[in-house]
Structure 1
Amino acid sequence: MPRSDTTRPRPAWFFREYEPVGIDLGSPAAVAAYDRNQGTDPDADDALLDRLGVVAGSRLVDLACGTGSLVVQAARRGAEAHGVDVSEEMLAFAQARAERVGASAGWHRAGFLDYVHRAGHADVVTTKSALHQLPDFWKQQALLNVAGMLRPGGTFYLWDVIFSFPPADFEERLQRWIETAGRPEDQGFTRADFEAHVREEFSTYAWILEGMLERAGFEIVSHAPRTPTHGEFVCRRR
């Protein structure tokens, strides 16, 4: 079973990371639907792992690992792979995925803010479609934690809903994204899901994340805004 990798009790003012925002993922059925809607693709996972140089013997930590596909693919190629998530349901799904293919990985119930990596410095830390669950103040603390678990020169990969449009254009750009990205029920994330993301979650601008990454001790190797609403950062710990 996944173990709890957290530190001492937090003060009352600390962000409640275990109270998720956005889509309700509190049941096995909801997690299975999330996995389907997310479009899990082992080939895409392998392509990303190739880009990041994850090979046999590499140590990878995937924060907010969700249903675990990236962790499983890393483990299958011989990496020491760790999946971290606050959701017991997500971790159970991920562990079952690993067991089906005979992959051995470490599963840890913890969050961006309180995960303590005890297995030696990581070579690669990844997070996809999850950092937006933290307000900007807490994103900065999370990035400091990421830097602390990476070896010097190690790689941090971030993919998320990241805004690269001019702030003055926010209404037009967000409305266009919601209208084009929403899918019918059972065919993907719906328009209501994207509306809830904008209303209740904490996606931010690329230029804000750039400053946070630099202050956390990262050199930005590349920044690719794939669309005005999505993008990735590949960073190296200084």
Structure 2
Amino acid sequence: MVVNQVCKQILLKMRNHISWQYDEFKQVGRDYGSKAEVDVYDSSHADFRDIEAESDRVLDVLKIGSTDTLIDFGSGTGVFAIQAARRCSKVYAVDVSQAMLALASTRAGQAGVSNIEFHHAGFLTYEHGDRPVDAIVTTFAFHHLPDFWKGIALQRMNYMLQPGGQLYIHDVIMDANDALANISAFVQKQAAAGGDFLREDAEGHFREEYSTYDWVMDGLLARSGFTVRSKHIDDGVLGTYLCAKN
């Protein structure tokens, strides 16, 4: 997809420039601007995922090396950013929650990691001032944007990557076949893993947040200048995409 230079500049520098821009700092679903929510984030997610092991698998898939640079959108409590920083030259950790960034920064200091640059921003407002990066990763954060703004965000991320740079997305992305049955099964699975807390979290996600059909995501990626190298939809609801900038 070819976008003219004027459009490119608008996409790159959107903050406070468009009166109708989506407010990505407004918390959707769980309020991760709340310190109380942030404090229980890792422990609650540990009931159904091993974030540190996931982080290592992602870095292995991307084949991140010591000279690489990486942006982590929706960096959360910093687990992935810290793991990535141990392998690569520099990590740009981007999150809309000050509480998340504060915890992540503290953890990075405790881990002796100094090559992470923290940014209070999101997909639509982060302005990358350095050279294009080798990889961009976003895990369980992209669903905070409605589909139109996902398209804008993908175009912005494309510009932040060097030619051939990689984009890794893992999020709630749904197969259109048997979607309602798959969602119901996922909610039940979360309840079995973490009781009422995770059941309510899953129900709230599908009621209030912006999950996307895989066929919509396929189109958004193609129109934003990406080639999908691999794609997996687990249990009909959890999508993983590995893409490359064209």
Q: 1:20: how far off?
A: 1.3
Q: 1:189: how far off?
A: 4.8
CA contact (8 A) 2:145 2:210 kept: yes
Q: Identity over the aligned pairs, expressed in percent?
A: 38
**Map of 2:154 onto structure 1:** 143
- TM-aligned CA distance change 1:27 to 1:8, over 3 Å: closer
Q: 1:220: how far off?
A: 0.6
List gaps (5 residues or longer) in structure 1. Answer: none
Q: 1:7: how far off?
A: 5.3
**Map of 2:207 onto structure 1:** 199
- Equivalent residues in 2 for 1:16-95 (5 A)? 16-39=23-46, 40-95=50-105
CA contact (8 A) 1:38 1:188 kept: no
| Structure with greater helix percent | 2
**Map of 2:181 onto structure 1:** 172
Q: 1:175: how far off?
A: 1.6
- TM-aligned CA distance change 1:228 to 1:119, over 3 Å: same
Task: Work out which of the residue numbers 109, 113, 125 in structure 2 matches 1:99.
Answer: 109
1:226 and 2:234 correspond:
yes
1:127 and 2:150 correspond:
no
Instruction: Provide the aligned length of Structure 1 versus Structure 2.
Output: 231
- Rounded to whole Å, the distance in 1 between the matches of 2:14 and 2:213 is 30
**Map of 1:182 onto structure 2:** 191
1:111-169: CA deviation from partner (whole Å, max 9, x where unpaired): 10111111210100000001111110000001001101000000000000010141xx3
Q: 1:188: how far off?
A: 8.7
Supply the AA of the counterpart residue of 1:33. Answer: V
1:90-131: CA deviation from partner (whole Å, max 9, x where unpaired): 101111111111001100011101111112101000000011
Supply the AA of the counterpart residue of 1:151. Answer: Q
- Rounded to whole Å, the distance in 2 between the matches of 1:154 and 1:81 is 15
- Rounded to whole Å, the distance in 1 between the matches of 2:79 and 2:32 is 17
RMSD after superposition:
1.9
CA contact (8 A) 1:165 1:173 kept: no
| TM-score, length-scaled by structure 1 | 0.91
Q: 1:27: how far off?
A: 2.4
| TM-score, length-scaled by structure 2 | 0.88
Secondary structure of the 2:221 match is: helix
